[in-house]
Amino acid sequence: MKEQRLKPTLVNSLLMLPALLLLAIVFAWPLLDSAWLSTQASSVLTGLTPLANGGANWQRLLGDARFWQDAAVTLRFAGVSVALELLLGLAMALLLHQPSRGRGWLRALTLLPWALPTTVLALGWRWIYNDPYGPLNAILRACGAAPFGFLTTPASTWLFTVLADVWKTTPFVALLLLAGLQSIPAELEESLVLEGASPLQILRRLTLPLLRPWISLALLFRLAQALGVFDLVQVLTRGGPAGSTESLALYAYLNAMRFLDFGYSATLVIATFLLLVLLTALGWLLLRRRPLELS
């Protein structure tokens, strides 16, 4: 009976409070703390005690060739892998949408790469790419070709890291787009079929326009995740060779855990965060003509 004396808004707010409080501690506070720490010297030299050093960390960042290389690697990685994931994910979603026997099983099996731990799969890919004993080289040998060092040169390592990421995350994109496909009334497609439209025309005139909100959602989600890529490169390549697969997140991690420079690690975290905000805001603005339904 007590609740009747409280205003409904107050009850609702109180119900939301514990969850929102935990979210604030785990999301908002770390960002504020890292922003503050990025203005401090806090490394082995200071005994990990924060000492204000003005903008020295940020000055170092601007002149740090490794930072710029990692930023380029991360952007290229995110751009290429998200583009591939959207294309493949769309094809996969169209396939999974077709009615057939055992469709549930097909969906579940397709989802497996996404559901399994990234570090486990990264270890698996290291074996698949192994030179000379891995399965890919076994196939090459069977075709009479010379073994290939997939993870030895910077260019090919980068490429095959992207492939492993695409393999792992495309199912998620496909599932989001499948949700979109399921929301399109079947009658619309039937009427276009009656008009004699080809499958390609249906895709262009009906499916893609109606799928737009889901494509936007998948794009924003995958872009943000790809800009923070860490698990995969840390286990598959350790950022090598020659830093060709070192992401900003991995560099931030190395600064904290290997070089014990927390101040500079925080600077890298905040720089990555700013890049992320910039790019997702840009993506949001570009997609804004038909914003996501929030209600």
Partner 1 sequence: MKSLLLLWSLAPLAWQLYTSLVTPEALVQGGGVEAGAFWTLENYRQVWLADPPIWRYLLNSAVVGAATTALTLTLAVPCAYGLQRQGGRLGWLVTLALLATAIFPTVLLFLALLQLARALGLANNLLALSLPYAALCLPLAVLLLRAAFADLPPDLEDAARLEGLNLPRRLRHVLLPLLAPSLASTAILVFLFSWNEYPIALTWISRPELLTLPPAIARIAGSSLFTVPYGAFAAATVLGSLPLLLLVLIFQRSIVSGLTQGAIKG
- Name residues contacting partner 1, limited to 92-121 (CB under 8 A): 92, 95, 100, 104-113, 115-121
- β-partners of residue 41 are 51
Residue (of 229, 232, 245, 295) closest to 69 by Cα position:
245
* Helical pair 262-286 and 65-97, crossing angle rounded to 10 deg: 40
Among 3, 54, 145, 199, binds partner 1 (CB under 8 A): 3
Element containing residue 40 per DSSP (H, E)? strand 40-41
- Name residues contacting partner 1, limited to 54-83 (CB under 8 A): none
Provide, rounded to whole angstroms, the least separation between the CB of residue 22 and partner 1: 5
Locate 38 and state its tokens.
Answer: 């990025």
Name the segment binding partner 1 (CB under 8 A); options: 23-31, 63-71, 187-195, 199-207. Answer: 23-31
* Residue 278 Cα distances to 29, 61, 74, 199, angstroms: 20, 18, 14, 37
Provide, rounded to whole angstroms, the least separation between the CB of residue 128 and partner 1: 6
| 127 touches partner 1 (CB under 8 A) | yes
Contacts of 239 (CB under 8 A, 6+ apart): 233, 245, 246, 247, 250, 251, 254
- Name residues contacting partner 1, limited to 201-240 (CB under 8 A): 214, 217, 220-221, 224-225, 227-228, 230-231, 234-235, 238
Q: Is the peptide bond before 241 cis (omega within 30 degrees of 0)?
A: yes
* Helical pair 154-182 and 65-97, crossing angle rounded to 10 deg: 40
- Name residues contacting partner 1, limited to 164-183 (CB under 8 A): 167, 171, 175-176, 178-180, 182-183
**Which pairs count as long-range contacts for 186-192, CB under 8 Å and 24+ apart, including other chains?**
none
| 18 touches partner 1 (CB under 8 A) | yes
User: Do 150 and 156 touch, CB atoms closer than 8 A?
Assistant: yes
Provide, rounded to whole angstroms, the least separation between the CB of residue 216 and partner 1: 12
- Name residues contacting partner 1, limited to 256-285 (CB under 8 A): 256-257, 262, 265-266, 269, 272-273, 276, 280
Name the segment binding partner 1 (CB under 8 A); options: 6-14, 62-70, 146-154, 201-209. Answer: 6-14
Q: Which is nearer to partner 1, 9 or 195 (CB)?
A: 9
Residue (of 239, 236, 279, 268) closest to 82 by Cα position:
279
Among 5, 7, 26, 194, binds partner 1 (CB under 8 A): 26
Q: Please count the residues of this chain forming the interface with partner 1, following the rule CB under 8 A.
A: 93
Provide, rounded to whole angstroms, the least separation between the CB of residue 98 and partner 1: 9
Q: Which is nearer to partner 1, 131 or 195 (CB)?
A: 131
| 161 touches partner 1 (CB under 8 A) | no
Provide, rounded to whole angstroms, the least separation between the CB of residue 74 and partner 1: 11
Q: Which is nearer to partner 1, 202 or 224 (CB)?
A: 224
Positive/negative CA dihedral, 79, 277, 230, 66 = positive
